[in-house]
Amino acid sequence: MTAVTDSYFSAVIGRLQTLREALAEPMSRASAAICTAARADRRVYVFGTGHSHMLAEEVHYRAGGLAFTIPVLVGSAMLHEGAVISSVYERTEGLIRPVFERYGMQAGDVVIIASNSGVNAAPIEAANYGREIGATVIAITSLAYSAAIANGRTKLADIADIVLDNGLPPGDAMVELPGVGMKVGPASTAVGATVLNAIFAEVAAELCKDGNPPVYLSANMPGAKEINQELVKKYRPRNPHL
């Protein structure tokens, strides 16, 4: 293992070890909010733009994941339709509300918004919409990044009911390249996915008290076809991506 590779592994592992304690309280609150929503037959929506959108797909129809999660996917603000223009769209006001309105979100739902910088128009608009309809809004963001670039703008953390601060530095990259003053090795996706999966694992464990939680099985596992078909049948009416 080279020094750079070792530095990146160490940085990510160190960040996760720190967050295990630093986020214990807000993660517990997030788990409780999701459990409350699940028991009321509500849904959990996950949204992000740019690379943050991958956290929405991470929890969607996931082996070992909960079936009441719904990704909010906005192609123009992701990467596959044009990475450069997506950066423009996520900073443009007025584009997200019409998309959110199509998903049929309800009071009592949970809306998780991933935005590392936490200042772009799209996540701010999404958070405001969630609050307006009576959903619980959970943010996954970097408070340090937001503080460094907000310049008086509203931050995602200012709106969210629960804030999961990933503790990452402005710019996301964790490893400094020798002699050139540049950094590589972004960590927001790896850290965000770990935090989300930990929360949903806790939720699933709590829901076991009510019986079998709605967890998808990997398609290659025994009994997966029957179990997953039943879950899809139940949750498809409110999930346009099933």
| Cα–Cα distance for residue pair 222/216, rounded to 1 Å | 12
> Can you give the pLDDT at residue 3?
87
Q: What are the extents of the domains in the chain?
A: 3-238
Report residue 219 CA to chain centroid gap: 24
Question: Which two structure tokens, joined as six digits, stand for 111?
Answer: 């809306």
Q: What is the pLDDT of residue 232?
A: 97
Provide Rg for the chain, Cα atoms: 18
DSSP 57-124: HHTTT-TTSBTTEEEE--GGGSSTT-HHHHHHHTTSTTSHHHHHHHTT--TT-EEEEE-SS--SHHHH
Instruction: State the angle between helix axes of 188-207 and 3-22 in degrees (0 to 180), rounded to the nearest 10.
Output: 40
H/E stretch holding 177: none
CA distance 142 to 169: 7
Q: Which residues pair with 164 in a beta bridge?
A: 140
Q: Which amino acid is at 26?
A: P
pTM of the model: 0.95
Q: What angle do CA 215, 217, 220 make, to 5 degrees?
A: 175
| CA-wise closest residue to 117 among 137, 142, 134 | 142
Rounded mean pLDDT for each run of 10 residues along the chain, 242 residues in total: 90 97 98 98 95 93 97 82 78 88 96 95 96 98 95 95 97 92 95 98 97 96 96 96 95
Nearest alpha carbon to residue 64 among 201, 190, 193: 201
Tokens representing 148 are: 């460094």
CATH homologous superfamily of 3-238 equals: Glucose-6-phosphate isomerase like protein; domain 1 (3.40.50.10490)
Residue 217, pLDDT score: 97
